[in-house]
Amino acid sequence: MILASRNIWDTRIQCVYSIVLGQEGTQIDAWACGNYGQVTLDPPRIIINPNRLYPIEGILRRTRRFSLNVMPAGALEEVLRFMRLRRREPRKTELMQWRLDEAHGVPYLPDALKTVFCEIEEILDTGDHTVMISRVAESRAHEAHAGEPPLMSREVFGGGMAPFQRQFRKILVKSGVLDAARAVWQKRRPPPSADIAETTYCTGGQTEDEVRQVLSYGGFDYSRGLRPPPSPHKPCRAVGVCVVGTHWGAFHCQLVRNANRSAHLFVCGRDRERTERLARSVNADDCFIGMDAAARDPRVEAVVLAVPAHQHRSATEICLQAGKHVLVEKPIATTLEDADAMIEQSHRFGRTLMVAEDMHYRPPISLVRKHIDAGDIGEPLHLLMHTGGINRPQGWAADRSRLGGGVFMDIGVHYVRAMRLLMGEPDTVSAFPAMQINTKMTGEDGLSAVFGSRYGWQAHLLATWSSNFGILPDIVVMGDSGTFHLWPRKPYVDYYPASPRLATRLVSYIRPYSLQARLTRPWFQRIRLRSGKDGTGYIAEMRAFLASVAEDQPAATPPEDARRDLEIVMAVYSASVSGSPTSIPQIQIG
Amino acid sequence: MWVSVAQSSYTHQLILETGRFSFIALHERQSDIALACGTESGFTRDKCALLDLSLHEDNFLYLKGALASTACRVRTSKLVGDHTLFIADLLSGEMETRATVYRQLLLSDIQDL
């Protein structure tokens, strides 16, 4: 059967698959290239023509050298993983075993079938792609794959069919069944007239204005600096740890027990009766009345501070000066000056200072971040987060002067960390307080913030003590290729790919539309992914702290990360007061 | 799309004269056609007479049984050493569905013969 070509890919121009690598400074980028070719034989020259939207185009334009690595057929799986990465991912080459060739000054793939090192002689601007005429400096065959056939672009762009799928399709094609089915289908629904230029433009082409628009958000997305840590291991020995505070401190006692059963646990409080009761209930080795007593005791190596926020600095300083390692509750402090002083003291006394930010260790966050990095949601665009519920804080937690703010400082700070892990560092924020319901609270009891990034993503965070959300995911991450739902305290995440899954596709063929609408279910699109047994990061966080103490290693989460969270919360409050978008101080990412 | 053609070839002369060409993608079982077209000059022999060509709109020639045939009009050209680089617009094309089970013919397939 003869079919009209509908776009440039129907012309079968893309042939042998290769990966082009270029480097500018410390930035290495890779690009899947299927349409290179020889242009002269003597001297040998080839042409590549990268899309101007790809950041490698700029790198090659400026450095004028690259390696073209012809991939072997056996590399299909690795190549498919590479192809899922988004265009703006700055760490594409982390997936690859690349090496720098000193002679040519460019990275290359030693696992390729063949590498061609090239120097660009001439660049021709040809619309949304750039033709680069390049002289071959060296062509190097890698013996590990000698005799292996090259990987063909159609294998890669076809999504990597399994061998049985390929055989099945071959039978359908050769027997004419596929053509017959196509003929019947086309009789019912004649295809639109083929227009190669228009269809190619709509599928993958850009005008000058479109190129400018896309590149205005940056060729690479450098916003993600912070990464979830690997799962912490159990401490190698029993640590003497004292929990200070008998309210939220009781929860920390349980965490210490769960994180390290053999830990020597101590409890410290102001109220003797309450402190002794807690010590008995958690089977503590001993208890102290007043923090000075705990700080003096040589059995105590580390202290967990579950005290009011305005006491974080003074309590931390007492412990650090006494040579204890400190895990302090969030927020790190109520002012940036206090946070800086605490960090300075931890460096001066050479002791660990870590802030209890469970979000950093929440396994679903780590899982979703891996999927974002793998390109499974495409370009991350929106983050929706909400936290809180109906609650009436009492005492210091209801007092702005002692908490440093209201609900946003209290629990919004956790989600600031979630935003930094999932999307990256924001550049601006607008914030809007809601009507104050709890007028006994001097801090705000409801606030929405909208964060923006120069790299094009946005994050919405709503924190409230005055309304209930019902049963909803607390974090939703949306990209142009998929969406993730993260549920509070659940050890799984729900993934909704943007492309329709089989059940969705089948139902879409049902007519009339009213019946189709009745049969459609949102969960047809849902893929539930398990992230382990624990849906929270509490135990992992405590384990990380105790392990750093036991092994005398720096904390997996330095206090500077918590200081940055506080800085962002402070910017939210500035924006809330000013009523206009506010810039967030920039930090070095790398 | 672009093609690079040796200036000494007859094809080069024809493309320069007409500003148009057909681009045919051969599949792995068509090495005989590639050999016939690539080992002799068009100045000395009418190579097209050997091929199963068909005439399409605007007098473009397509090859029956190929992976794909595409009509191209030259937009710009550039001398690169002893070759000329023709950058062309794709006007129209067609593909043979039964040939899609084959991959493209590679130069190495012919060298192996």
Instruction: Provide the chain B residues 32-61 that lie in CB contact (below 8 A) with chain A.
Output: none
Domains of chain A: 12-157 (2.30.110.10), 163-215 (no CATH), 361-537+566-583 (3.30.360.10)
Which of these, A260, A266, A297, lies nearest to A279 by C-alpha position?
A266
Residues of A with a Cβ under 8 Å from any B Cβ are 1-5, 8, 10-13, 15-16, 37-43, 45, 47, 49, 122, 124, 126, 131, 133, 150, 152, 154, 169-170, 173-174, 176, 178-179, 182, 194, 196-197, 200
- Tokens 């720096």 belong to A554
pLDDT reported for residue A157 = 84
Q: What's the N-to-C CA distance of chain B in angstroms?
A: 29
pLDDT reported for residue A160 = 66
pLDDT reported for residue A359 = 97
CATH number at residue B75: 2.30.110.10
**Domain count along chain B:** 1
Can you tell me the ipTM of this complex? 0.94
Q: Which residue of A has its CA nearest to B3?
A: A39
A288 token code pair: 């102290």
A173 contact residues in B (CB cutoff 8 A)? 97-98, 100-101
Q: Which residues contact A360 (CB under 8 A, 6 or more apart)?
A: A228, A229, A417, A421, A537, A541, A557, A561
pLDDT reported for residue A24 = 97
pLDDT reported for residue A10 = 86
What average pLDDT values come out for chain B (113 residues) when binned by 10 residues? 95 96 95 90 88 92 95 96 96 92 91 64
pLDDT reported for residue B113 = 56
Which runs of consecutive H residues, i.e. helices, occur in A189-248?
196-204, 208-215
- Tokens 């007519």 belong to A511
pLDDT reported for residue A590 = 60
Which of these, A315, A320, A298, A361, lies nearest to A561 by C-alpha position?
A361
Cβ-count burial A54-85 (b if 16+ within 10 Å, e if not):
bbbbbbbbebbbbbbbbbbeebbebbeebeeb
Residues of chain A with pLDDT under 50: none
- Tokens 């433009």 belong to A201
Calculate the alpha carbon distances from A21 to A35, A59, A134 in Å.
15, 10, 14
Q: What's the N-to-C CA distance of chain A in angstroms?
A: 55
pLDDT reported for residue A507 = 96
Residue A353, Cβ density class (10 Å: 0-12 exposed, 13-18 middle, ≥19 buried): buried
pLDDT reported for residue A149 = 94
Domain encompassing residue B32: 2-111
Query: How crowded is the C-beta side of A94, counted as CA atoms within 13 Å?
Result: 8
